[in-house]
Amino acid sequence: MSTPLLEAEGLIKAWGGVRAVDGVSFALAPGEMLALIGPNGAGKSTCFNMLNGQIRPDAGRVRLGGRDITGLPPRAVWRLGVGRTFQVTATFGSMSVRENVRAALLSHHRRLLGLWRPAARLHTAEAEALLDRVGMLAQADRPCAVLAYGDLKRLELAMALAHSPRLLLMDEPTAGMAPAERGALMQQTAAIAREAGIAVLFTEHDMDVVFGHADRVLVLERGRLIAAGAPEEVRADPRVRQVYLGGGRF
Amino acid sequence: MEALAVQALAGLASASSLFLVASGLTVIFGVSRIVNFAHGSLYMLGAYLAWTFVSHGPLAELGGFWGFWGGVLLAALCVGALGAALEMTVLRRIYHAPELFQLLATFALVLIVQDVALLLWGADDKFGPRAPLLRGAVEILGLRFPRYELFLIAVGPVVLGLLWLLFHRTRFGILLRAATQDREMVSALGVDQRLLFTAVFFLGAALAGLGGALQLPREAVTLHMDMAIIVEAFVVVVIGGLGSLPGAFLAALLIGELHAFGILVFPRITLVLVFLVMAVVLVLRPHGLLGAPPGAPPASEQAPPLPRPLPRGLRLATLGALAALLLAAPFLGDYPLILLADFAVFILFAASLHLIMGPGGMASFGHAAYFGAGAYAAGLLLRHLAAPMEMGLLLAPFAAGLVGLLFGWFCVRLSGVYAAMLTLAFAQIAWSVAFQWVEVTGGDNGLLGIWPSDWARGKLAFFYLSAALCGLGVWLLRRAIHAPFGLALRAQRDSALRAEAIGIDAFRIRWLAFAYAAAFAGLAGALFAFGKGSVFPTYLAIPRSVDALLMVLLGGVQTVSGPILGAIAYAGLQEQLARVTELWRLLLGLVILALVLFFPRGLAGALAQWGEKRA
Amino acid sequence: MLAVEGLHAHYGRAHILHGVSLTVAAGEVLCLLGRNGAGKSTTMKAIMGLVPPSAGTVRLEGGRLEGGRLEGRDLAGQPPHAIARAGLGYVPEERRIFTGLTVLENLEVGRRPARPGLAPWTPERLFALFPSLGGMRHRPAGRMSGGEQQMLTIARTLMGNPRLLLLDEPSEGLAPVVVERMAEAILALKAEGLSILLSEQNLAFAGAVGDRACILETGTPRQTLPMPALMRDAALRARYLSV
């Protein structure tokens, strides 16, 4: 493997004495699609939130392109090229779709402190190009509060792309979507990532999405990694079957 | 030594009364999420009703034990019933309204109760009898303690214990705790929410009424009891942590003792001590001593709608009216010109607060601090450095902005009610500096002779000056709202999580917005000072902060033109009502209540809706 | 058991349900299937009165509104608590457990008087159905895993002794092993004779527990058919459940 893009080393986080994440280490190569799976409460979200600075680890390091980013706030991690989508979508409900992306672009261009020029005249074409990339251009003028759930996820993706990230962190990108939509969103994400050479780390419960799109899979159980490898290896791993996949009916 | 022990005991006794009121406030807030400004009014009514029952009517004739204690209990029950009635008639209709709107409604109730109490009981103070069985004093370790104080000291822990049992050992209590988290789910499980809410208001109001009634042997019943206790009760609830009863108890002890000893130890800063302590607690523990961070807002709470410009016709009409006013000004007399200059000042004051509250999503209960900072900056410059008006008007925004930077650095870290209370605390601190630092500020006497430069001394010239500067200020504020800065401000309000995730430093944006708004409030304050020729501590007092709040809420928080309409409506209404009737508070309260119930989006929102329908 | 006729519902100005009609027979599991945004959750909420329906009727056999009104009376337009008391039990998709309350206290919130002819649910009976809950009676619900919380929401609703259960996506966000246990629990409830209206995205799960399927598309029921028939009909599935 060439120089890893993202390295987690011995991450530990305890909540009220219980270790939610207990010594997790892994690396992510540039352009790789890596899935993080595991039962509820295994520590996926905690692990995820430590990577982009939302939670400060009790111990361990996070490195991005060799640079130690442990303990940096999320906005600083974003500046370094990490885009993020959330399990429950987080967008600006009082704004139109275009304004949402515009806000991300204004931040990207470091123009947020402007008091004079109306924002409505700034970065419109750029915002529309991003919306076009995720197939949302037709909805640019709609208030974001009335969007369907899948479209909100796409909007989040567009906002994450505004800063030309090297890495996308997607927490349950397809939660709350119908199976067919899930596949479509992940295909779109994969295509964009491939085209721009972006690495993607995602958590997911839908095994079709995981085994259909991930280059590699990590399995977390009770805060520890119990398996890592190519999808087929992980699927065949007896331990993973026992704690997570079950009989494979669902 | 003896004096200290007696003082400590007196502190504990006040702590009990404070806890009774604060516990009612926190219980009501916990379940209904309504910050009940009228809670102090219920306390006052408890005291007045107890006085009436104890000294008039059948219970008074009965006399003795039941004559007093029966009166106290009956007063508490009556206040409880009143609380339940208020819930059923008014508050039930506004549960889905924004938090600050609910505050506005309960503030209207404060105004109404003020005048009703005045009508019923008159302006003179009422004195109650001593409590039967608890007259005189007992001797403990050679010290004499009043019996009634000892009784009151016991009341606090007993009520806390009873409430704990209620919340943890009864089905009603468990339902209340569940409803505190998710009312809708509780109702989907077959529980009638309405009954639950009415019961909670009964309980909370009865506690306030009991607290008031128990004051009867201790102090005179006056018309000022409501505001005095509500501010302290808020402080207690916030220091303890919203919704936490043990927290409220701890905080009540703290505040009670602080009052008792503050006067001995820090006589110079007694007035701010409480607020200083609250500020310190909130800076160290942003959710109070025992409070939990608030969970995600309920699903029913939706993002505010997109701000939309007023319909074109309306906008043209507004601009036309403004132009007509400017042209007609030379033909107006002195009095209307003074009034119009005041209006201009209020519009800028309200518009500056709106930047924080609307796009910023923060609440400020202490915006008068910056208004006053500007006024004092101009006044002090003139008084001590003989700086002319032009210099004062130029520097006042910077002075107020600096104060805003200082206070804002603390305030914008908190959210919701906590942030609002911290802004109030800082405003009170600023007020008491103005009030108690007599050598510099002149204290209560204020700074007099703060007149404009010669060219602006005429009423007409001063009106044009006010209109020009306030117009400029409002225009700059509006530009900021539509500029990238305003977009960032709305972004952090809509979703702090997403804002951080796209590199927006929410703290910095909020902080700068706070200071920017403070600067314009300062300009308004300086203009006001020159208009009146004087500066008083009342410029930074709570009523002025409340004025600004009401103007913004009346106009509509989520509309850009809201504060302008709100300022005109509120200032105009107050002015007109005060001229025609003694009972202006009652009428103003009723008008505000009507607006809250029938125009939940504020005046500008209602106008825009009307415009849309016609379009 | 449950008969819904021509249900319409709006969110603000958006018209979400366009005349949903369905029936659930006694002891039957009817699955509401459809794409995301098809109106499954809204149908549940509209039946429950959480989203007030703008038109339509909801009738529950044996359901009795308070005040001794006639059986079978229309529940549409009633407040949620009246509908719950009439015998509908709602299990929300987002779980919405009371995190500050213990497991037993959560169950207490759901408790309603027993219904004639039905064996009343008690915490002990529920712990037999969901054994993992029995070991954590006094644990604050906020400190349970997602799967345990999902069990608790169902148990809490059962404490109301419902005649019919509205289950909104119980498998959402759960690990495959937990989904297996959830399926077992639902089959056990069905064996007790409880009727269930289940909304689901996970077709395999729906196939394992459902008797019939009702397919929704843009707030309108398109087809209702026995579950095995749907599982055999790939064309139908592709038409309504995939892109």
Same domain, yes or no: B211 and B325: no
Neighbours of B436 (CB within 10 A): 17
What CA–CA distance (Å, rounded) separates B227 from B217? 20
Alpha helices, DSSP H only, in C30-161?
40-48, 80-86, 103-110, 123-129, 131-134, 146-158
Quick one: pLDDT band at residue B163, thresholds 50, 70, 90? very high
What CA–CA distance (Å, rounded) separates B116 from B346? 29
Angle, to 10 degrees, between the axis of helix B334-357 and the axis of helix B459-482?
20
Nearest to C36 among A39, A146, A177 (CB): A177
Give domain status of residue B250, yes or no. Answer: no
Give domain status of residue B261, yes or no. Answer: no
Residue B534, token pair as written in the block: 């004087």
Indicate yes or no: CB of A102 within 8 angstroms of CB of B500: no
Quick one: pLDDT band at residue B297, thresholds 50, 70, 90? very low
Residue B72, token pair as written in the block: 């106290």
- In this prediction, residue C243 carries a pLDDT of 40
What CA–CA distance (Å, rounded) separates B207 from B199? 12
What CA–CA distance (Å, rounded) separates B246 from B252? 10
Give domain status of residue B568, yes or no. Answer: yes
Query: Which residue, of B184, B201, B227, is where some domain finishes?
Result: B227
Interface test with A, best of B502, B508, B511 (most A CBs within 10 A): B502
Q: In the predicted model, what is the mean pLDDT of residues B227-248?
A: 88
How many angstroms separate the Cα of A60 from the Cα of each of A24, A56, A77, A220, B126? Answer: 8, 10, 17, 17, 68
- In this prediction, residue C242 carries a pLDDT of 62
- Residue B386, C-beta contacts closer than 8 angstroms, at least 6 positions apart: none
Nearest to C243 among A38, A184, A249 (CB): A184
Residue A172 has pLDDT above 70, yes or no: yes
Angle at A159 between CA A156 and CA A161, to 5 degrees: 110
Q: C64 and chain B: CB distance < 8 Å anywhere?
A: no
Residue A104, token pair as written in the block: 């991300």
Q: Assign residue A157 a region (left: φ > 0; alpha: ψ between -120 and 50; beta: otherwise).
A: alpha
The CB-side HSE value for B10 (13 A sphere, CA atoms) comes to: 15
Give domain status of residue B496, yes or no. Answer: yes
Residue ranges per structural domain of chain A: 1-70+200-250
Q: What confidence tens digit (pLDDT) does each residue in A26-76 have?
A: 999 999 999 998 877 778 888 989 998 999 999 999 999 999 999 899 999
- Residues in A closer than 8 angstroms to B303, CB to CB, are 92-94, 145
Comparing alpha-carbon positions, the chain A residue that sits nearest to C142 is A41
To the nearest whole Å, the CA of C118 is away from the closest chain A CA by: 32
- In this prediction, residue A176 carries a pLDDT of 66
- Residues in B closer than 8 angstroms to C86, CB to CB, are none
Q: Going along B342-465, which residue ranges are E strands?
A: 447-448
Are the CB atoms for C198 and C32 separated by under 8 Å? yes
- In this prediction, residue C153 carries a pLDDT of 96
Residues of chain C with a CB closer than 8 angstroms to some CB in chain A: 12, 14, 34-38, 143, 145-147, 171-180, 183, 201-205, 208, 241-243
What CA–CA distance (Å, rounded) separates B471 from A3? 59
- Residues in A closer than 8 angstroms to B509, CB to CB, are 112
Q: What confidence tens digit (pLDDT) does each residue in A74-127 have?
A: 999 999 999 999 887 889 988 999 999 999 999 999 999 999 899 999 999 999
Least confident range from A122-126, B278-282, B401-405, C83-87: namely B278-282
Query: Hey, which chains touch A, using 3+ CB pairs under 8 Å?
Result: B, C
Least confident range from A126-140, B14-28, B181-195, B558-572: namely B558-572
Domain encompassing residue B214: 2-227
The tally of domains found in chain B comes to: 2
Give domain status of residue B502, yes or no. Answer: yes
Quick one: pLDDT band at residue A166, thresholds 50, 70, 90? very high
Q: What is the DSSP letter of C170?
A: T
Give domain status of residue B282, yes or no. Answer: no
Which domains can be identified in chain C, with CATH numbers? Answer: 2-241 (3.40.50.300)
- Residues in A closer than 8 angstroms to C34, CB to CB, are 178
Give domain status of residue B298, yes or no. Answer: no
- In this prediction, residue B236 carries a pLDDT of 92
What CA–CA distance (Å, rounded) separates A83 from A164? 8
Give domain status of residue B303, yes or no. Answer: no
- Considering the domain A1-70+200-250, what is its CATH architecture? 3-Layer(aba) Sandwich (3.40)
Of B605, B507, B500, nearest to B556 (Cα)?
Answer: B605
Indicate yes or no: CB of B191 within 8 angstroms of CB of C48: no
We report the CATH number of the domain holding residue B557 as 1.10.3470
What CA–CA distance (Å, rounded) separates C212 from C233? 14
Indicate yes or no: CB of C81 within 8 angstroms of CB of B191: yes
Q: Going along B47-160, which residue ranges are E strands?
A: 137-140, 143-146
Of B29, B450, B45, B426, nearest to B247 (Cα)?
Answer: B29
Q: What confidence tens digit (pLDDT) does each residue in B65-109 have?
A: 888 999 999 999 999 999 999 999 998 888 877 777 787 789 889
- In this prediction, residue B97 carries a pLDDT of 76
DSSP symbols for chain A: --S-SEEEEEEEEEETTEEEEEEEEEEE-TT-EEEEE--TTSSHHHHHHHHTTSS--SEEEEEETTEE-TT--HHHHHHTTEEEE-SS----TTSBHHHHHHHHHHHHTT-TT--SS-GGGSSHHHHHHHHHHTT-GGGTTSBGGG--HHHHHHHHHHHHHTT--SEEEEESTTTTS-HHHHHHHHHHHHHHHHHHT-EEEEE-S-HHHHHHH-SEEEEEETTEEEEEE-HHHHHH-HHHIIIIITTS--
Q: What confidence tens digit (pLDDT) does each residue in B169-201 have?
A: 999 999 999 998 888 999 999 999 889 999 999
What CA–CA distance (Å, rounded) separates C131 from C135? 7
Query: Which residue, of B189, B209, B227, is where some domain finishes?
Result: B227
Q: In the predicted model, what is the mean pLDDT of residues C194-204?
A: 91
Angle at C15 between CA C84 and CA C172, to 5 degrees: 55
Nearest to C160 among B171, B174, B190 (CB): B190
Indicate yes or no: CB of C36 within 8 angstroms of CB of A149: yes
Percent of chain A with pLDDT over 90: 52
Least confident range from B55-64, B250-259, C25-34: namely B55-64
- Residues in A closer than 8 angstroms to B505, CB to CB, are 75
Q: In the predicted model, what is the mean pLDDT of residues B400-425?
A: 88
Percent of chain B with pLDDT over 90: 52
Q: A177 and chain C: CB distance < 8 Å anywhere?
A: yes
Query: Which residue, of B207, B227, B247, is where some domain finishes?
Result: B227
Residue B308 has pLDDT above 70, yes or no: no
Work out the mean pLDDT of chain B and round it to a whole number.
88
- In this prediction, residue B300 carries a pLDDT of 36
Element (H, E) at C229: helix C227-232
What CA–CA distance (Å, rounded) separates C29 from C211? 5
Residue B351 has pLDDT above 90, yes or no: yes
